[in-house]
Amino acid sequence: MKRKIVSIDQEKCDGCGLCVPSCAEGAIKIVNGKAVLAADNLCDGLGACLGECPKDAITIIEREADEFNEAAVGSHLRNSGNHAEGHGHQHGHHGGCPGSRAMSFKPAPPKREEKQERGSSQSQLGQWPVQMFLVPPNATYFQDADLLITADCVPLAYADYHRDFLAGKAVVMGCPKQQDASGYVDKLTQIFRMSKIRSVTVLAMEVPCCGGLVMAAKQALAASGKDIPFEVVTIGIRGEVK
């Protein structure tokens, strides 16, 4: 079958191994000093490893490949010793992103302040829609705008998202683990080409999956041919700026 799958440029790869732990399926291994796919059926093609390669040696291509097989992944992880109790790999239909590992933690106690009525805080959202695949690339709110590209989870993790990041910006949101990251590249390229964007801020979570969002933004900016100030801000799962 023809499907999307990881491709590793052997000339660019220096064997640093940063991509290996980012793949929850264990599909990437180091052989003779180079990163390679252990087997086609272990790669879900969703690209959690994309943002981890400092040499940009990893891309997603479409070619003939064996179908992704979760049973094979489970067997591979058990045999390689990477599926021990407590590691938290979860192989659902989104491919077992390391960022989906179940965990719990106690939120910091709220600051003492004057009680406010529910909904009294002022939203800083100045447009609709916000989802990447729904926004028109030539929308008036993108003209002469500072663009905030936000991973879906960020507003939940970062309590002051509206005040510290969203205020005064146009925004698009998405999750490359749940949707086609190549579609994000296409949409962002259109936005950059058709709109006068003053600056780009990518707001991503610390989990490896979000590397795909950062990479999509970088690829789109390069494809647009525009020279736009670009910044990446990473948010930890406990809500801190990393």
Residue 118's φ and ψ, nearest 5 degrees, are -60, 135
How many helical (H) and strand (E) elements, i.e. helices and strands, does the chain have? 5, 8
CATH number, domain of 42, equals 3.30.70.20
The type of residue at 168 is G
pLDDT digits (tens, 9 = 90+) for 94-130: 344 445 454 545 666 666 666 667 765 788 999 999 9
150 found inside a domain: yes
109 found inside a domain: no
154 found inside a domain: yes
Residues 77 and 157 in one domain: no
Q: How far is CA 196 from CA 148, 189, 214, in A?
A: 14, 12, 20
pLDDT in tens, the chain (242 residues): 899 999 999 999 988 777 887 787 888 988 888 889 999 999 988 877 776 688 889 998 999 999 999 888 888 877 765 443 333 333 333 344 445 454 545 666 666 666 667 765 788 999 999 999 999 999 999 999 999 999 999 999 999 999 999 999 999 999 877 777 778 999 999 999 999 999 999 999 988 778 888 888 999 999 999 999 999 999 998 899 98
- Number of domains forming the structure of the chain: 2
Residue 173: per-residue pLDDT: 96
Q: How far is CA 158 from CA 2, 80, 118, 124, 207, in A?
A: 39, 36, 19, 15, 14
129 found inside a domain: no
Residue 51: per-residue pLDDT: 67
Domain that holds residue 166: 140-235
CATH number, domain of 176, equals 3.40.50
Residues 149 and 70 in one domain: no
